[in-house]
Amino acid sequence: MAKTDEQLKEAAEMDHHHFVKTLAAFKFFGPHLLKRVERSRAYYHSLPSAHHKLIREFDENLRNVEQCISHNNDLIVNIIKHSAPDIFNGEHAYELNPNSTPNGKDLNDGQTVAVREKFGPFAFTDTEMDKVRSALKQFVRDWSVEGKPERDICYQFVIDDVLELFNPKKINPADVNILVPGAGLGRLAWELAHHGYTCQGNEWSLYMLIPAYFILNTCKQINEYKLYPWVAQFCNNMSREDQMSPVYFPDVCPADLPANVHFSMAAGDFVEIYTDPNTWDCIATVFFIDTAHNILNYLDTIWHILKPGGYWINFGPLLYHFSDIPGEDSLELSYSELRLAIKRLGFEIMREETGIQCGYTQNPSSMLSYNYNCVYGLFRKPLTEVSTANIISESTTVKESE
Amino acid sequence: MAKTDEQLKEAAEMDHHHFVKTLAAFKFFGPHLLKRVERSRAYYHSLPSAHHKLIREFDENLRNVEQCISHNNDLIVNIIKHSAPDIFNGEHAYELNPNSTPNGKDLNDGQTVAVREKFGPFAFTDTEMDKVRSALKQFVRDWSVEGKPERDICYQFVIDDVLELFNPKKINPADVNILVPGAGLGRLAWELAHHGYTCQGNEWSLYMLIPAYFILNTCKQINEYKLYPWVAQFCNNMSREDQMSPVYFPDVCPADLPANVHFSMAAGDFVEIYTDPNTWDCIATVFFIDTAHNILNYLDTIWHILKPGGYWINFGPLLYHFSDIPGEDSLELSYSELRLAIKRLGFEIMREETGIQCGYTQNPSSMLSYNYNCVYGLFRKPLTEVSTANIISESTTVKESE
C-alpha cells in the first residue's frame, strides 16, 4: 500500500529526529562517563584517611581516565562533524544546545525521563549509552590490529567460502552480488569488496551507520586515529593501564579497493528493504540472525532474495536480541529447531560446523570475557525450487534431534 | 553504641519481613517463568501458518519446558517447607496468601511496584527473580557432579593450600579455625570440615542461606533430588533438550563429616559480625572480595580477625557487585591497586597466580559462556605486626605496575 504524502513527511521527520538524537547520544557519552568518574572520586574522598593511604594513587588514576574520556569525546565530535554530510542535507550539524528545544517538540518520544540523564533537549537511558559503548568497541573488532583474532575466526569462514564458491580465477568477482546484512562498521563487506566482489553491507542501527560512514568515507591512512575503547570498563581490570590502553584505527586504508568495484552500505531494516526476488548470489550473516523479533522472517527474506543456486553463509550464536525486553516479541528457537526450519524451507545444508569459540568485541586484558559457542553453516537455495508442500510432507518424520 | 529495645525490635521485624519476602520470591519464581512461557506461546500462535509448519514442534517443546518449571517449583516448595525451621520460630510457614496482607503492612519496603510483578502481598522485580535463578544454578556448582570442573579449579586451590599449611598428619585439623566468607551453598566450607578442620561458612544472602540450610540439614543421600537448572534459559540453546537437561544433587552426602567436627554456617554481613581480633588461622575467600561496596573494609576485617601468622587465601575476579547500580557506592580497584593495598596493609605475599580461567555456574551446553580470568593469592599476616607507619613510608616508592 503506497503511503500518503503526509505519512511520508511524518516518517522523514521521525527519521531526522532519530538521527539527530543518535548524534546527541554520541556527543553525550563523554559527559556521561565523566559524571561516573566524579561519583567514584566523591566516594573515594568520603573514605577514611587510612584507606587513602592504602590507595593513594587512586585520584591521580581517575584523572588519567578522564583524559582518555576527553580524547574519545574529541574523536566523537570529529565523527559527528565529518560523517554523513549528505544525509538530511547536512542538518546533522544542528547545534545540540542545552537550552533550546528545536520546534518546541518533545525530543524524547513522549517517554518519561525519570531514569534518564538529560543533555540539551534530549535525555538518555543507560541502554542508549551502552549502544555508544558498543559502537566504540566495534572499532576494535572491525578496524584495528587488536580485532584481528576475532575477525580471523568469523569473517575468514565467509571469505574462504566465497573464494571457493566464486573463484576469482574462474569468474569475474564483479559479477558476483554479495549482501552482508547486519554489517556493523562494514569490515566484512569491505573485505569482500577488497577481493573484487560486488558487495553491499546493510545495517539498521544509526549507532553503527554513523561511525561506519566516518571510517569508510573519511579515514585516509592506516592508524590515523587513536581510541580508548575500554575506558568505560571500571571492573575486572588487572591494572589501571588496561582500562586506558589505546587502539589505533583503521588497520587498513578503507579507500584501498580495486578500481570500479561496486561497494555500498545500505541503511534500513533487512526485511523491509530487500524485497526483489532472486537477486543475490550470496548472503553472509555473521552475528546477525539473532537480531530479529522473528528469525523466520529473516529466513523467508534470505530464501526470497537469493538467486536459485545462491548461497547463504551464516556464523554466530543465538542470543536473540529482543528476548526478555519488556513489551517486545521474541521467538527463541534452539539451533536444532532453527536447523529444521532451514531444511523445511528448502535449503540444502552444504557444510555445517558447531562449537566454534568466538568472542565479540572482547577486551583481551579483562578479567571477564564472554565467549560464544558459535554455529557455522553453508546453505544453498536449490537451482530448481522444490515444492514447499513436498518438503513439509517429507519432513513430518524428522525429529528435532536428527 | 548499644541499640535500644525499640531499635532491636524494629531490626528483628525487618529481618523477619526480609526472610518471608525471600521465601515468597522463591515460591513466585515458577509462576513468573510460566508467564514467560505463555508470552512465547502467544507470539508463536500469532505467527502465520507458513511459520507454524516450519517449527511445528515448538508448542509441544514449550509444554515440556513448563513441566520442568513445575518440577522445579515443587522442589522449591519442598525447600521452603523443610528449611530453616528454627529461624523466627517456624513463622516462615506463614501462608503466602494472595489475598491477605499480614499486619496491614507495606511488604514492598514502601517502594513503587510499577515495574514489579505482584504475588500475594509481595511484588518482585527482575533482579529478585534473577537471584532465585542464580541460587538454582548454584546447586549445580556446589552440589552436583556437573559442577565438579568449576570446583576443581577454584576450591581445589584452597583445599591444597590448607592441607599443606596445616598438614593433618602433623597438626590436629580440629585445632585449625577456618572461615569462609561468601560461602554460598556451603560446599567449600563443607569440604574443609570434611577434611577435619573447624570451619565456619559465612553468608549474607538469604537467597543462598535458605537452600544451603536445605542441603546441609535435609539432604540425606546422594542424588536425592532432581533440578532443571537451565530451564529459564531461552536463548543460546543448541537443542531444546539442553534447556531441559536435569542435574541431581547432592553429589556427596552432606551429613558425611568426621565425628565431632565443628562445622557451622553463620548468617550476616562479614564486616559486621566478625569483630574479634586474632581469631582465625585461615580465611578463604572465593569469588567474594568483589561483593563489597568498599573492598578495603573487607581487607581491614580480614587483617583484624586473622591470628598473627594466619593465612588469607583469595581466588576470583574483580567484578564489583555494586558497580553501576544506581544510588550504590562502589570502589573499583584494579588488581594492581588492590595488590598494593594488601602489601601496604602489612600482608606478606606468599604465592600468587594470575590468568586462571574459571567459569561461574556455567551451563556447559550453552552457546554463551562467561569466563573469568581469575587471580589467586596466598597472603600471610606476619607473626610480629609491622608498624603501619613504616609500611606506608617504605611503599611510597612502589609503583602500581610493580
Amino acid at site A397: T
Q: Is the dihedral of CA A208, A298, A178, B368 positive or negative?
A: positive
The set of cell numbers assigned to B227 is 533440578
- Categorize the per-residue pLDDT at B11 as very low, low, confident or very high, splitting at 50, 70 and 90: confident
- Of B369, B77, B307, which is closest to residue A358 (Cα–Cα)? B369
Proportion of chain A above pLDDT 70, given as a percent: 86
- How large is the average pLDDT for residues B132-144? 98
- What is the model's pLDDT at position A82? 77
Q: Strands A225-227 and A198-203: what pairing?
A: unpaired
- What is the model's pLDDT at position B83? 66
CA distances from B92 to A5, B73, B86, B121, B137 (A): 65, 17, 9, 15, 24
- What is the model's pLDDT at position B17? 87
Helix (H) / strand (E) containing A201 = strand A198-203
Q: Strands B117-119 and B122-124: what pairing?
A: antiparallel
d(CA B183, CA B270): 11
- Categorize the per-residue pLDDT at A149 as very low, low, confident or very high, splitting at 50, 70 and 90: very high
Contacts of A238 in chain B (CB under 8 A): 334-336, 354, 373, 375
More confident residue, A395 or B373: B373
Please state the φ and ψ torsions of residue B310, each to the nearest 5 degrees: -80, 165
Task: Compare all CA atoms of chain A with the CA of B320 and give the residue at the minimum distance.
Answer: A235
CA distance B170 to chain A (A): 37
3-state secondary structure chain B: CCCCHHHHHHHHHHHHHHHHHHHHHHHHHHHHHHHHHHHHHHHHHHCCHHHHHHCCCHHHHHHHHHHHHHHHHHHHHHHHHHCCCCHHHHHHHCCCCCCCCHHHCCCCCCCCCCCCEEECCEEECHHHHHHHHHHHHHHHHHHCHHHHHHHHHHHHHHHHHHHHHCCCCCCCHHHCEEEEECCCCCHHHHHHHHCCCEEEEEECCHHHHHHHHHHHHHCCCCCCEEECCCCCCCCCECCHHHHCCCEEECCCCCCCCCCCCCEEEEECCHHHHCCCCCCEEEEEEECCHHHCCCHHHHHHHHHHHEEEEEEEEEEECCCCCCCCCCCCCCCCCCHHHHHHHHHHHCCEEEEEEEEEEEECCCCCCECEEEEEEEEEEEEECCCCCCCHHHHHHHHHHCCCCC
Residue to substitute from B57, B236, B393, interface A, most A β-carbons within 10 A = B236
CA distance A288 to chain B (A): 13
Closest CB to A334 among B239, B370, B392: B239
- What is the model's pLDDT at position A386? 56
Please state the φ and ψ torsions of residue A269, each to the nearest 5 degrees: -80, 125
A392 contacts B53? CB cut-off 8 A:
yes
Please state the φ and ψ torsions of residue A289, each to the nearest 5 degrees: -65, -20
d(CA A179, CA A182): 10
Average pLDDT of chain B?
A: 89
CA distances from B43 to A135, A303, B55, B81, B115 (A): 31, 23, 13, 36, 22
- What is the model's pLDDT at position B121? 75
- Helix residue ranges per DSSP H, A47-104: 49-54, 58-82
- What is the model's pLDDT at position A385? 60
- What is the model's pLDDT at position B170? 97
- What is the model's pLDDT at position B257? 96
pLDDT in tens, B206-240: 999 999 999 999 999 999 999 999 999 999 999 99
Contacts of A332 in chain B (CB under 8 A): 40, 234-235, 237
Contact B69, B37 (CB under 8 A): yes
CA distances from A198 to A170, A180, A184, A265 (A): 16, 11, 18, 12
CA angle A289, A291, A295 (to 5 degrees): 55
d(CA B224, CA B250): 7
Phi-psi region at A350: left, alpha or beta (left = phi > 0; alpha = psi -120 to 50): alpha
Question: How many other C-beta atoms can be found within 10 angstroms of the C-beta atom of residue A382?
Answer: 12
Contact A199, A178 (CB under 8 A): yes
- What is the model's pLDDT at position A118? 63
Contact A307, A384 (CB under 8 A): no
Reply yes or no on whether the pLDDT at B104 is more than 50: no
- How large is the average pLDDT for residues A92-117? 42
- How large is the average pLDDT for residues B380-394? 63
- How large is the average pLDDT for residues A126-149? 97
A368 contacts B319? CB cut-off 8 A:
yes
CA distance A279 to chain B (A): 23
With a CB cutoff of 8 Å and minimum separation 6, the contacts of A385 are: A308, A346
Phi-psi region at A251: left, alpha or beta (left = phi > 0; alpha = psi -120 to 50): alpha
Q: How many residues are present in chain B? A: 402
Contact B217, B229 (CB under 8 A): no
Reply yes or no on whether the pLDDT at A217 is more than 50: yes
Roughly what angle, to the nearest 10 degrees, separates helices B5-46 and B206-218?
90
- What is the model's pLDDT at position A97? 42
A366 contacts B43? CB cut-off 8 A:
no
SS3 at position A207: helix
Contact A291, A328 (CB under 8 A): no
The set of cell numbers assigned to A92 is 546533522
B371 contacts A237? CB cut-off 8 A:
no
B345 contacts A51? CB cut-off 8 A:
no
pLDDT in tens, B251-289: 999 999 999 999 999 999 999 999 999 999 999 999 999
d(CA A190, CA A196): 10
- How large is the average pLDDT for residues B64-69? 98
Reply yes or no on whether the pLDDT at B89 is more than 70: no
Closest CB to B55 among A237, A341, A366: A341
- What is the model's pLDDT at position B114? 38
Contacts of B38 in chain A (CB under 8 A): none
Closest CB to B372 among A58, A318, A367: A367
Task: Compare all CA atoms of chain A with the CA of B232 and give the residue at the minimum distance.
Answer: A324
Contact A236, A148 (CB under 8 A): no
d(CA B353, CA B160): 14
Least reliable range by pLDDT among A123-127, A225-229, A316-320:
A123-127
More confident residue, B294 or A80: B294
d(CA A161, CA A378): 8
Q: DSSP character for A71?
A: H
- Of B117, B289, B306, B136, which is closest to residue B207 (Cα–Cα)? B136
CA angle A240, A241, A245 (to 5 degrees): 130
Reply yes or no on whether the pLDDT at B95 is more than 70: no
- Of B135, B90, B103, B119, which is closest to residue B28 (Cα–Cα)? B119
Task: Compare all CA atoms of chain A with the CA of B374 and give the residue at the minimum distance.
Answer: A367
d(CA A381, CA A348): 6
- What is the model's pLDDT at position B389? 44
B336 contacts A392? CB cut-off 8 A:
no
- How large is the average pLDDT for residues A186-208? 97
- Categorize the per-residue pLDDT at B243 as very low, low, confident or very high, splitting at 50, 70 and 90: very high
Reply yes or no on whether the pLDDT at A100 is more than 70: no
SS3 at position A292: coil
Reply yes or no on whether the pLDDT at B94 is more than 90: no
Amino acid at site B250: P
Average pLDDT of chain A?
A: 89
d(CA A362, CA A247): 13
CA A373 from chain centre, in angstroms, equals 19
Reported ipTM exceeds the 0.95 cut = no
CA distance B318 to chain A (A): 5
The set of cell numbers assigned to B73 is 517449583
3-state secondary structure A362-400: CCCCECEEEEEEEEEEEEECCCCCCCHHHHHHHHHHCCC
Roughly what angle, to the nearest 10 degrees, separates helices A126-143 and A187-194?
20
Contact A318, A338 (CB under 8 A): yes
Closest CB to A238 among B40, B51, B354: B354
- Of B199, B197, B198, B200, which is closest to residue B167 (Cα–Cα)? B197
- What is the model's pLDDT at position A297? 98
SS3 at position A293: coil
- What is the model's pLDDT at position B112? 36
Where b means 16+ CB within 10 Å and e means fewer, B22-36 reads: bbbbbbbbbebbeeb
Partnered with residue A356 across adjacent β-strands are: A374
Amino acid at site B287: F
The set of cell numbers assigned to A397 is 518424520
SS3 at position A178: strand
- Categorize the per-residue pLDDT at A44 as very low, low, confident or very high, splitting at 50, 70 and 90: very high
Q: Strands B263-267 and A368-380: what pairing?
A: unpaired
pLDDT in tens, A313-372: 999 999 999 998 999 999 999 999 999 999 999 999 999 999 999 999 999 999 999 999
